[in-house]
Amino acid sequence: MRTVGHFINGTETNGSSVEFSEIYNPATGEVQARVALATKTDLDAAVASAAAAQPKWAATNPQRRARVFFNFVGLINRDIDELAQLLSAEHGKTLDDAKGDIQRGLEVAEFAAGAPHLLKGEFTEGAGPSIDMYSMRQPVGIGAGITPFNFPAMIPLWMLSPAVAAGNAFILKPSERDPSVPIRLAQLAVEAGLPKGILNVIQGGKSAVDGILHHELISAVSFVGSTPVARYVYATAAAAGKRVQAFGGAKNHMIIMPDADMNKAADALMGAGYGSAGERCMAVSVAVPVGEATADRLVEALRPRIEKLKVGPATDKSSEMGPVITKSAKERIVQLIDSGIAHGAKLAVDGRGLSLQGYESGYFIGPTLFDNVTADMDIYKEEIFGPVLCVVRENSYDAALRLTMNNPYGNGTAIFTRDGDTARDFASRVNVGMVGINVPVPVPLAYHSFGGWKASAFGDLNQHGTDSIRFWTRTKTVTARWPSGIKDGSEFQMPTYGVDESERVR
């Protein structure tokens, strides 16, 4: 059986691992490989190799570091078909969706190639008599990323690209459920010219996460996962004196106004609600039509689209939606569907009991649609993370906006309308980090930042965009004066750099 190991100092290795976890094929339910689980010795070896390599990498000028990323981007494009197949086999998402996963990560690697510009500081000549001031952005040293199963290429690339381009070494701890693509990315980075030891991959579960959070040589940690774990990571890493950004769960609402193009809104909800089997932190899981007539039209438009949606394995190129990641995930989703029925929601389309010939043991759930959902139901309150869309009917725009704003999560939201005033008001007032106007999944491009509000994010700096450079660097400000500008004698008052008494306000 194939074993996926760690990637330490440029080499894939099982290290000192004595425990292994099984990797399943979600389409068949069969074990296809196993992954080594890191020991403390493995993590220490990865950090030691990072610590040895990082100073020289930081001293490499940004343009040369950028060239490595140009090469890295080229190699990912060269191997994108292989990467997509590997990703689909372990995650279950369709090949087209897998390529989208890789592409959105690739865009951040392209952004990181702009490091020579992004790392520039500021300079003020003559800030005081013969005094100049300037700032520098310097790497934090060793960073770490803890990434989820649902985007095994995109999110690792979101984290490692700006971190490494800024001059840091990096320890990546991917999900043990689909660990192969991160290993392959690390191999491609070395092929692109990245020095050995700068990018290390450690496999494992909670003990590996805890090892990262407490390791004294790791200065900054980025995390994506569920909100309870995000809170834990944020509190633990911060208490250990680390810089930390931790992104959690979501319950993303899409408001549909009466004037919206209903066909376009329904098409948008299909992709946003059921793409990747709903296993996206930016998936739309709550549709909020304004007015009974709007709601009736929306459900009428959705039902035939849902019933025609093609569910199948990634190996079937006609598949539009694959299985969920594990048997336990499927069981939890089914339990929540049962809960929705028990609490009085109307099950408009039932995805339970889906069975595909030849894939009877796979983790497939059909797309499910609930109508007449209310905010006190578990299917509304919990992040289902599956192909379940809930319709919550509201009688006014203000009520729909309040519903969205009162939800404890604040990752993404959207509104579909033809009215510019309504759209502008929504974008201005809603307390959510990423907003779409006639765009159902408003994930920003690489040169803008990605991040939620409220219980969806902990920390004050977002992923990618200029925020990522700020997160993975520290600012150092220098105040310089040369001997010709220094007066004789000691000065004991707070330095004011030459404030004239006549400038003071009396």
Tens of pLDDT, residue by residue over 382-435, are: 999 999 999 999 999 999 999 999 999 999 999 999 999 999 999 999 999 999
The answer to which of 94-103, 123-132, 202-211, 253-262 has the lowest mean pLDDT is: 123-132
User: According to CATH, what is the number of the domain 2-248+456-475?
Assistant: 3.40.605.10
Question: What's the pLDDT score for residue 45?
Answer: 98
Structure tokens at 429: 């007032």
**361, pLDDT greater than 70:** yes
Structure tokens at 328: 């336990």
Question: What's the pLDDT score for residue 249?
Answer: 96
Residue 437: exposed, middle, or buried by beta-carbon count in 10 A (0-12, 13-18, 19+)? middle
Tens of pLDDT, residue by residue over 450-463, are: 999 999 999 999 99
Mean pLDDT, residues 217-245:
98
Question: What's the pLDDT score for residue 379?
Answer: 98
Tens of pLDDT, residue by residue over 104-163, are: 999 999 999 999 999 999 999 999 888 999 999 999 999 999 999 999 999 999 999 999
Question: What's the pLDDT score for residue 440?
Answer: 97
Q: How confident is the model at residue 254 (pLDDT cuts 50, 70, 90)?
A: very high
Is the Cα dihedral 57, 62, 66, 67 positive or negative? Answer: negative
Domain 252-446 has CATH 3.40.309.10: yes
Which are the catalytic amino acids?
A: 281
Question: What's the pLDDT score for residue 488?
Answer: 77
Q: How confident is the model at residue 484 (pLDDT cuts 50, 70, 90)?
A: confident
Question: What's the pLDDT score for residue 497?
Answer: 64
Question: What's the pLDDT score for residue 495?
Answer: 72
The 3-state secondary structure of 431-494 reads CCCEEEECCCCCCCCCCCCECCEECCEECCCCECHHHHHHHCEEEEEEEEECHHHCCCCCCCCC
Mean pLDDT, residues 50-60:
98
List, by residue range, all CATH 3.40.605.10 domains of the chain.
2-248+456-475
Mean pLDDT, residues 235-239:
98
**330, pLDDT greater than 80:** yes
Among candidate residues 354, 283, 269, 268, the one with its CA nearest the CA of residue 319: 354
Share of the chain above pLDDT 90, in %: 94
Mean pLDDT, residues 285-294:
98
Among candidate residues 198, 153, 233, the one with its CA nearest the CA of residue 54: 198
Question: What's the pLDDT score for residue 493?
Answer: 72
Q: How confident is the model at residue 503 (pLDDT cuts 50, 70, 90)?
A: low
Mean pLDDT, residues 9-15:
96
SS3 167: coil
Question: Which helix (H) or strand (E) covers residue 363, if one does?
Answer: none
CB 274 within 8 A of CB 389: yes
Radius of gyration of the chain (CA): 25
**176, pLDDT greater than 80:** yes
List, by residue range, all CATH 3.40.309.10 domains of the chain.
252-446
Tens of pLDDT, residue by residue over 368-382, are: 999 999 999 999 999
The answer to which of 89-93, 199-203, 352-356 has the lowest mean pLDDT is: 352-356
Chain-wide mean pLDDT for the chain? Answer: 96
Question: What's the pLDDT score for residue 502?
Answer: 58
